[in-house]
Structure 1
């Protein structure tokens, strides 16, 4: 009896087939496990494949979104640059038109001056005589040409007159303190109150030291060497006519 206990039974065909996995049902189960593991590793499971496909789609969408943002940013930059270039072009166009307009205006002024025998200079047309007349005759010459004796209300204008005549000639200009007769009207000015021929009061002056000194005798102003002097209006001097724009 003790021998039967320790005796190893001989394997039968059924035992061998069971150990070898030849049982159809067992084989099918093992095959299914192997197939499932293989398919999972290969990624052929429909659910897993769908998840991978969704991930790929999300990545593609993210890349497409980034590319779209980059393109949009590029378009915005191009629009800004185009607007800036358009602004600069308009500014250049405006500057060119202003320069052209200025040149045309200067040319019109020059034509206007020369048509009257005047010369364009500074802010007006000027005529400087080559003969001499009394103050009143000088003014009559100017007004007959739609102008008047020159007024000098700035240092620049004073220097301009000096350049015209070289500063070494006696020259009448449009300043007096006398009762005078114009071509079409009469004005009474008190002696000692100097006024310009355009009716404005004298403010800035360039009288030489001690001038004016003539009282009722010397009532008209003349230039000489950059300074002002009062002279008898009946003396014959050069003169300057002016048309102010």
Structure 2
């Protein structure tokens, strides 16, 4: 795709420049006289073409991630089985074009739980994108936006409320309930990539 993009771009640019010259039968009008409209039109067409090429590259990358994971609710989820600390896990998700998965409602939470069971059999829990690192008890997602949906494991008195346990994991064995844990713990994790 990248090999084809540059030649296509050059061909289109050349054809636009070639075809936008005045004919010999008409008197040429300088850009100053015409108000520079044609130059601006060509520039905007070239800019639009570059935007389309970049959008296609982004969609191709998303499709690659989605093929390895699952696609649901305009999101792709991908389980990473190499256990990492919470922050390293989120950095890895960012490098793949997303963030740690953050369930926004019970349906998404259950889908993440079921996907974790299928994609990482034997896993007890996975990191999700919720934490109260900045202010104890104030849970936000990885973009620092307040979280409005919670699925705490109340039978285990979660969240515990200690400053040491600031990162949230989804428990596969406790039917998708959440608990807070030490961010330096090693866990598998699920990345979430939003599909435009």
Report the TM-score, using the length of structure 1 for normalisation: 0.48
- Aligned CA RMSD, in angstroms, stands at 2.2
Residue correspondence of structure 1 range 120-199 to structure 2 within 5 A? 120-122=70-72, 123-166=74-117, 169-178=124-133, 189-199=134-144
Instruction: Identify if the C-alpha distance between structure 1 residues 159 and 143 changes in structure 2 by more than 3 Å, giving closer, same or farther.
Output: same
Cα distance in 2 for partners of 1:110, 1:143 equals 16
Cα distance in 1 for partners of 2:124, 2:58 equals 28
Match for residue 113 of structure 1? 62
1:220-245 Cα distance to aligned partner (Å, 9 max, x none): 00010310000000000010101112
- Structure 1 regions of 5+ residues with no counterpart? 1-107, 179-188
- Say whether the 8 Å CA contact 1:114–1:120 is kept in structure 2: no
Correspondent of 1:236 among 168, 186, 195: 186
Cα distance in 2 for partners of 1:140, 1:197 equals 10
Match for residue 150 of structure 2? 205
Matched residue count: 128
- Say whether the 8 Å CA contact 1:214–1:231 is kept in structure 2: no
1:81-132 Cα distance to aligned partner (Å, 9 max, x none): xxxxxxxxxxxxxxxxxxxxxxxxxxx9985434246424112111101221
Residue correspondence of structure 1 range 217-232 to structure 2 within 5 A? 217-224=164-171, 225=174, 226-232=176-182
Match for residue 16 of structure 1? none
* Greater relative contact order, per chain length (Cα 8 Å cut-off, separation 6+): 2
Cα distance in 1 for partners of 2:69, 2:60 equals 9
- Say whether the 8 Å CA contact 2:136–2:161 is kept in structure 1: no
Cα distance in 2 for partners of 1:144, 1:113 equals 12
Instruction: Identify if the C-alpha distance between structure 1 residues 199 and 230 changes in structure 2 by more than 3 Å, giving closer, same or farther.
Output: same
Cα distance in 2 for partners of 1:111, 1:144 equals 16
Cα distance in 1 for partners of 2:95, 2:191 equals 10
Measure how far apart 1:214 and its partner are.
4.2
Structure with the higher fraction of residues in strand conformation: 2
